[in-house]
Amino acid sequence: MITMLQGVFITSIISALAVQDCTCVKIIGGQDAKPGTGSYMALIKDTAENFCGGILIDKLWVLTSANCVVKQLSVSIGTHSFKDRKEAQTFEVVEAKVHNKYNIKTEWNNLALLKLNTTAKLNKLVKTLSLPKSAKDIKPGTKCKVLGWGQTTPKDEDPSDILQETTVTIIDRKICNSEGYYNKNPVVNDDMLCAGDESGKQAKMCRGDIGGPLICKSSSLKSKSLTGIAIFAKGCDVKKKPGIYTRLSNKYIQWIKKTIKSKTKNISIEQK
């Protein structure tokens, strides 16, 4: 059963998505990802066919944005084509755990975990993406990758059939918080990242699904690593409104590990 408190929480999430123009599954100017590239990508859907991105980090758990948590969710993994999901594995979400300090107004602590009803079967199309071993901050100018099934042009609201990917660049938080950009609405703090066009003149968020991964390679990392989760976009391809991501800092990595291991429930939504 969904409690009254949970019902209010769900309603507030839906309202927030509407205000932010966030079905937010939009990759503008991306390119088709090669089959198998997004083997860790999760397609999260509700009964109204609204969808989000997510990351399979464990055979039983998907990491996503708190903004994606509504009732009656299902998850498809192993999906390359949005329309053709014959080879995909589909699951019900039996439990959703939102970070206990998530603030819908500020977007702080915006992350959630979805527990699947059965374990995913790993194969060439379905793989987990490990949590980062290093939680060091990512320097401005770092190139990162985002993936999603979203629309491919600002005017076309239909999702892309084929998984899309593109490159974004980390932008200094001071720039993102400046008057010409987000003007501290929301405030991009140390647990968040701002990424878009290298010049900062044109946003590329809406180039990544809400809930989808930000994958970066920095001087402190020998290979590309899961770095963040897409959480916020102001419209789609709007100038000086880059995408905002929750950065997987040490405290979030510890929260994720503890949540997965723990049998206690934080915020749960039972599927009917």
Q: Cα–Cα distances in Å, from 101 out to 8, 136, 249, 255?
A: 16, 22, 15, 11
| pLDDT of 156 higher than 60 | no
Q: Does the domain at residues 143-249 carry the CATH identifier 2.40.10.10?
A: yes
Intervals of CATH 2.40.10.10 along the chain = 4-24+39-129+251-261, 143-249
Superfamily of domain 4-24+39-129+251-261: Trypsin-like serine proteases (2.40.10.10)
| pLDDT of 268 higher than 60 | no
pLDDT at 271: 41
Question: pLDDT band for position 240 (50/70/90)?
Answer: confident
Q: Is the pTM of this model over 0.95?
A: no
| pLDDT of 237 higher than 80 | no
- Residue 92 one-letter amino acid: E
pLDDT at 157: 56
Tell me 137's DSSP state: P
Q: What is the pLDDT of residues 48-79, one digit of tens each?
A: 777 889 999 999 999 999 999 988 899 999 87
Q: Does 138 or 86 have the greater pLDDT score?
A: 138
Helix (H, G, I), strand (E, B) or coil at 1: coil
- Residue 75 one-letter amino acid: V
Give 8: exposed, middle or buried? Use CB within 10 Å, 0-12, 13-18, 19+: exposed
The CA-based angle 208-210-212, given to 5 degrees, is 65
| pLDDT of 195 higher than 80 | yes
Q: What is the pLDDT of residues 10-51, one digit of tens each?
A: 333 333 333 333 333 344 445 666 766 789 999 998 887 778
Give me the residue label for tokens 């190139």.
143
The CA-based angle 14-3-43, given to 5 degrees, is 45
Give me the residue label for tokens 């699904």.
209
Angstrom distance (rounded) from CA 98 to CA 113: 6
All residues at 6 or more sequence positions from 165 whose CB lies less than 8 Å from its CB, including other chains? 27, 30, 31, 32, 33, 37, 38, 145, 146, 147
Least confident of 121-135, 183-197, 235-249, 258-272: 258-272
Give mean pLDDT, residues 130-158.
Answer: 77
pLDDT at 22: 36
Give mean pLDDT, residues 238-252.
Answer: 90
Distance of CA 227 to the CA centre of its chain: 11
Q: 112, 96 in Cβ contact below 8 A? A: yes
